[in-house]
Structure 1
Amino acid sequence: MKKMTCRQLGGACDLEFQAETFDEMETLSKNHGMEMFKKGDKPHLDAMHKMKALIQTPEEMKQWFESKRKEFDQLPHH
């Protein structure tokens, strides 16, 4: 298992996710983001707006995801 926080994945808190693959990590992060969106959590909404501004094109989005995948790959297993 590898661990990453919501903040490491572009979010707004230190909730820790554990997953074997980056795809699993991405799903956990997305589910958390949707939950925070539904709750109207301002820090997470602000983080979502920043991400939207950061990822304006498909190429930028791809580069961002690849950088996070690389970060995940370099993490130690727990």
Structure 2
Amino acid sequence: MKTMTCKQLGGACEKEFNANTFDEIGEMSKAHAMEMFQRGDKPHLKAMNEMSELMKSPNAMNAWFNKKRKEFDALPDEQ
């Protein structure tokens, strides 16, 4: 089990996500982002706009995902 925060994943807060795989943590982050979007949370909306700009370039998006996956993989397993 590893932990990353919303902010580490490109978001706007310190909410922690705990998962065994990067894909799992990505799904948790995505669900959190949707919740914050529905609430109209301004800091998260700003982070989402920045992410949508990144998504315009497939190469930049892939590089971002690879970097975050490496960060996740480098984290120590929590017992």
Range into which the TM-score falls when normalised by the shorter chain? over 0.9
Pairs aligned (count) = 78
TM-score normalized with structure 2 length = 0.94
TM-score normalized with structure 1 length = 0.95
3-state SS in 1 of match to 2:25:
helix
Counterpart of 2:54 in structure 1 is 54
For 2:63 and 2:73, locate their aligned partners in 1 and report how far apart those are by CA, in whole Å.
15
Identity %: 60
Unaligned 5+ segments in structure 1 are: none
For 2:65 and 2:50, locate their aligned partners in 1 and report how far apart those are by CA, in whole Å.
15
CA contact (8 A) 1:3 1:19 kept: yes
Counterpart of 2:42 in structure 1 is 42
Counterpart of 2:22 in structure 1 is 22
CA drift of 1:56 comes to 2.2
CA drift of 1:59 comes to 1.4
For 1:51 and 1:58, locate their aligned partners in 2 and report how far apart those are by CA, in whole Å.
12
Deviations, residues 28-58 of structure 1 (Å, cap 9, x unaligned): 0000000000110000001111112233211
CA contact (8 A) 1:37 1:44 kept: yes
Unaligned 5+ segments in structure 2 are: none
CA contact (8 A) 1:6 1:12 kept: yes
- Please give the root-mean-square deviation of Cα atoms over the aligned residues, in Å: 0.8
